[in-house]
Amino acid sequence: MHRQIRIGSRDSNLALWQAKFIESLLQQQGIKTEIILVKSEGDINLTSPLYEMGVQGIFTKTLDIALLSKKIDIAVHSLKDVPTQLPKNLKITAIPKRANVKDALVYQDPNFKISDNAGITIATSSLRRKAQWLNRYPKHSIESIRGNINTRLEKLKNTPHWNAALFAVAGIDRIGLEVPNKKELDWMLPAPAQGALAVVCREDDPETDSICKTLNHFETATCTGIERSFLRNLKGGCSIPIAALAIVDKNTIRFKGNILSLDGVRKVEIEMEFSIGNFENAGKLAALKLLESGGDKIAQELKSFMTE
């Protein structure tokens, strides 16, 4: 009989949904579970822009510490928030099947139409979304919005000069929110690993590792692995304007990635295809091609910005 698995989670509605989703998968195998709540710095500070808070691992650090100190047995994260380099003695043991990868525009006025007219204000705390939006709509204004999904929706409702805000579709869908004025953005490339979850455990806990490995979805793990390798080889954290998406199409993996300047004026984008049987270096090859195509100049500027 396996011991009970203690699942660490942040206490937002979305984080709890994620933890309970993993809990349900484990319970289907007859595993006893307990959810333990841990508050992260990213949840506590709702005013500072993410890039001012040393964003690398900001939503995962507290859970990782609880995991390393053996207060919990696994941590459940949004994979896009997980640094490409995990702390020593921690490992991603499973990546379940991915949800919707797209971003969405949520707007207040049901008659609102997107145009490139000046005077339109969009709210987002994501530099990636901001850069891609300004690349497409350079006359718009962007303002920062922080907090969990419910908090951001409430802020949008109570800020009259904001026309709309940008959200990840997966987050809205997972907690079952009814958002009537929502438009999925087919043109906006998502963050690497957006829509996927990560189950993290200690390397010195083979029993938990073995149990949780059964939750892994090969196609999702493959595609997000390529996207995260692309990000790692560009030396980018989860807060800068780097986007990537890998999709399996029969025996081919189709990859698209881009990097933008912070103001959205400059964009370098690439598309590549890889064989499903030969994708080990796909992320690195894609990153090198992007850099060679002019992305190196933008990447260097972004690196300077992040270290200022």
Three-state secondary structure string covering the chain: CCCCEEEEECCCHHHHHHHHHHHHHHHCCCCCEEEEECCCHHHHCCCCCHHHCCCCCCCCHHHHHHHHCCCCCEEEEEHHHCCCCCCCCEEEEECCCCCCCCEEEEECCCCCCCCCCCCCEEECCCHHHHHHHHHHCCCCEEECCCCCHHHHHHHHHCCCCCCEEEEEHHHHHHCCCCCCCEEEECCCCCCCCCCCEEEEEECCCHHHHHHHHHHCCHHHHHHHHHHHHHHHHCCCCCCCCEEEEEEEECCEEEEEEEEECCCCCCEEEEEEEEECCCCCCHHHHHHHHHHHHHHHHHHHHHHHHHHC
- The reply to whether 116 falls in a domain is yes
- Residues 90 and 108 reside in one and the same domain: no
For the stretch 119-141, pLDDT in tens is 899 999 899 999 999 999 999 99
Locate 36 and state its tokens. Answer: 């333990």
- The reply to whether 224 falls in a domain is no
């350079």: which residue's tokens? 138
Is residue 165 predicted with pLDDT exceeding 90? yes
- The reply to whether 226 falls in a domain is no
- Residues 125 and 16 reside in one and the same domain: no
């992007």: which residue's tokens? 290
- Residues 67 and 200 reside in one and the same domain: yes
For the stretch 290-308, pLDDT in tens is 999 999 999 988 877 765 5
For the stretch 195-231, pLDDT in tens is 999 999 999 999 999 999 999 999 999 999 999 999 9
- Residues 76 and 154 reside in one and the same domain: no
């797209």: which residue's tokens? 102
- Please give the Cα distance from 51 to 237 (Å, whole number): 10
Q: What amino acid positions are annotated as catalytic residues? A: 81
- Residues 11 and 55 reside in one and the same domain: yes
- Residues 76 and 108 reside in one and the same domain: no
Quote the pTM value: 0.90
Q: Which of 145, 165, 185 is the last residue of a domain?
A: 185
Could you tell me the CATH number of the domain that includes residue 179? 3.40.190.10
- The reply to whether 222 falls in a domain is no
- Residues 202 and 127 reside in one and the same domain: no
Could you tell me the CATH number of the domain that includes residue 269? 3.30.160
- The reply to whether 12 falls in a domain is yes
- The reply to whether 225 falls in a domain is no
- Residues 112 and 149 reside in one and the same domain: yes
- The reply to whether 231 falls in a domain is no
- How many domains does the chain fold into? 3
- Residues 12 and 90 reside in one and the same domain: yes
- Please give the Cα distance from 294 to 291 (Å, whole number): 6
Please give the residue range of the domain that contains residue 19.
5-95+196-216
Share of the chain above pLDDT 70, in %: 90
- Residues 89 and 107 reside in one and the same domain: no
- Residues 254 and 122 reside in one and the same domain: no
- The reply to whether 169 falls in a domain is yes
**Beta-bridge mates of residue 94:** 199
